[in-house]
Amino acid sequence: SLASTAITCFTRGLDLRKEIEDVLCPANCPLWQFYVFGDGIYASLSSICGAAIHRGVITNAGGAVRVQTLPGQENYPAVNANGIQSQVLTRWASSFSVTRSKNTVLEAVGRSVSTARPSTGKRPKKPLDKKAGNKDCKADIAFLIDGSYNIGQRRFNLQKNFVGKVAVMLGIGTEGPHVGVVQASEHPKIEFYLKNFTAAKEVLFAIKELGFRGGNSNTGKALKHTAQKFFSLENGARKGIPKIIVVFLDGWPSDDIEEAGIVAREFGVNVFIVSVAKPTTEELGMVQDIGFVDKAVCRNNGFFSYQMPTWFGTTKYVKPLVQKLCSHEQMLCSKTCYNSVNIGFLIDGSSSVGESNFRLMLEFISNVAKAFEISDIGSKIAAVQFTYDQRTEFSFTDYTTKEKVLSAIRNIRYMSGGTATGDAISFTTRNVFGPMKDGPNKNFLLVLTDGQSYDDVRGPAAAAQKAGITVFSVGIAWAPLDDLKDMASEPRESHTFFTREFTGLEQMVPDIIRAICKDFLDSRQ
């Protein structure tokens, strides 16, 4: 059939089932709400209608668009076009392109239904592994629901309904999002944890069964409790997956929420606030802190707060909220030094090192790498060995798990030869860090050497720093202090390390990790 499928402003490439699909975009989508990644070839996380306007296929008056599914790629660029600023994305598993739809005959028919919900019945089901869920949505989510007298029994049930719809649309599954629920009232109660259910059906049932508690809306107390207790590994939180708390608030909190917001940020948790029925002008006198939303959310940038006028007719609010929760690159509070850095190791393979000392260097590198959360959306590791020549042992995109990185480090073979450290720094800046330069992570280069370089190190190190790479120099044995200082980033003292013996490398590991984290935090201020 050639009929166009009516879609909403928020339908993403990954929501479509066919390789080539004709869709109809509605008119008057709010441009600023579009999430678009790339230019011409868009990450499938992008809004289809947003991409079509960005590409100039349609205007904001809507219309027919043909969507072609394409393989994933790296480094989707950010480009401003037709009123939409697309965003950078380092890597995504699938893409799509948009062109003008061929079947204009049906456009008139299609137009009339463009305000209707997307037709779900006619689509062939995607051979989706139902158990796995939506793998593109990386999130561990606690829904903190309002169980206070403010909301009352009737609206409490509408709230449960809404949370259920959000849970279903998220695509819960073993490899997709996991959710749990906490009820805020006088005292917080964790109703179920992330590990309790991994299927949407079970979650829906559990939400339906929730009983209304009543009492004051001590949201601050509940938020703090959730941030501290809910996301432990034994309760099902997963390493390297963003932690999110969605706070539903009918009216306003009866306690202080600011401190809870600070605690959540310290724990690396992203707080969203969905406020329903904001306090009216007459009620403002009863609210102890009018700016309660801004103080609790992860960042006060508009992304983490969401408003619904009432609990009635909330269906249209489900999808935009789900899209926010699945945008892992927007989860600013998840970014810690452990999961947001690229560390490149430049390893001296010259003949003065010797096989057994070379092994000690590899052990040192493993121990540094081990401290970081390595994943496709987390930290990344690369290694280059140099003599007069350079050899990329593995690049940042080769291995996305800690096990694979550590095994790759173990398998590095000692080259033996001369020492051209300057050339090696230039090679690494260009070939290893070059492809990562627009990515979200902060870049670090650790240069390990045991001797004098035959070439100039100052120029190449300055160029690396100019390219946004923080350079640490780690010298052993005969490495001259002048060379080490010339390579290191400012302040040079805190970026230069030295040990007489190769066996002294082990003691340096915690200091190096601490130094990387300090730089990371300083760069965020």
Q: Residue 522 above 90 pLDDT?
A: no
Residues 306 and 241 in one domain: yes
* 264, containing H or E segment: helix 258-266
Domain containing residue 65: CATH number? 2.170.130.20
Asked if residue 109 has pLDDT above 70, the reply is: no
CA distance 202 to 200: 6
Note whether 307 and 348 are same-domain residues.
no
Distance CA 521, CA 525 (A): 7
**300: in domain:** yes
List the structure tokens of 165.
Answer: 């719809």
Q: Is residue 127 part of a domain?
A: no
Q: What is the mean pLDDT of the chain?
A: 88
Is 176 in the same domain as 289? yes
β-pairing, 341-348 vs 442-449, is parallel
At 153, list the tokens: 């029994």
Picking from 80, 100, 120, the residue at the C-terminal end of a domain is 100
Which CATH number is 494's domain given?
A: 3.40.50.410
DSSP 448-468: EESS--SS--HHHHHHHHHTT
Is 108 within the bounds of a domain? no
Asked if the structure places residue 113 within a domain, the reply is no
Q: Could you give the CA distance from residue 37 to residue 54 in angstroms, rounded to a whole number?
A: 10
How confident is the model over 508-519, as pLDDT tens digits? Answer: 999 999 899 889
- Do 293 and 360 lie in a common domain? no
Query: Within a domain: residue 507?
Result: yes
Shared domain for 84 and 204, answered yes or no, is no
Q: In the 8-state DSSP scheme, what is residue 12?
A: B
- Examine residue 105 and state whether it is found in any structural domain, yes or no: no
Q: What is the pLDDT of residue 525?
A: 55
CA distances from 145 to 182, 207, 228, 376 (A): 6, 11, 17, 32
Can you tell me which residue has the tokens 């299927």?
199
Do 63 and 155 belong together in one domain?
no
Same domain, 350 and 435: yes
Query: Is residue 508 situated within a structural domain?
Result: yes
Please give the Cα distance from 200 to 191 (Å, whole number).
Answer: 16
Instruction: Among 73, 100, 127, identify where a domain stops.
Output: 100
Given a cut of 50, is residue 492 above it in pLDDT?
A: yes
Same domain, 291 and 237: yes
- The pLDDT assigned to 420 comes to 95
Q: Which of 63-67, 108-112, 302-306, 404-408 shows the lowest per-residue confidence on average (mean pLDDT)?
A: 108-112
The continuous run of DSSP H or E covering 402 comes out as: helix 402-410
Q: Residue 211: give the domain boundaries.
A: 140-330
The domain total for the chain is 3
Token representation of residue 156: 């409490």
pLDDT the model gives residue 235: 93
In the block, tokens 């987390």 appear at: 378
Question: Which tokens go with 501?
Answer: 């013996």
Give the number of C-alpha atoms closer than 13 A to the C-alpha of residue 401, restricted to the C-beta side.
3
Question: Does 312 share its domain with 247?
Answer: yes
311-320 pLDDT per residue, tens: 998 999 999 9
The reply to whether 201 and 308 lie within a common domain is yes
d(CA 473, CA 494): 10
Residues 270 and 299: their CA atoms lie apart, in Å, by: 9
> What b/e readout covers 343-375, taking b as 16+ CB neighbours within 10 angstroms?
bbbbbbbbebbeeebbebbbebbbbbbebbbbb
The answer to pTM > 0.85 is: no
Residue 310: both structure tokens together: 């009432």
Q: Which of residues 330, 364, 394 is at a domain's end?
A: 330
In a domain, 190, yes or no: yes
pLDDT at 115 over 70: no
Q: Could you tell me if 326 and 347 lie in one domain?
A: no
Do 325 and 370 fall into the same domain? no
Phi, psi of 295 (to 5 degrees): -80, -20
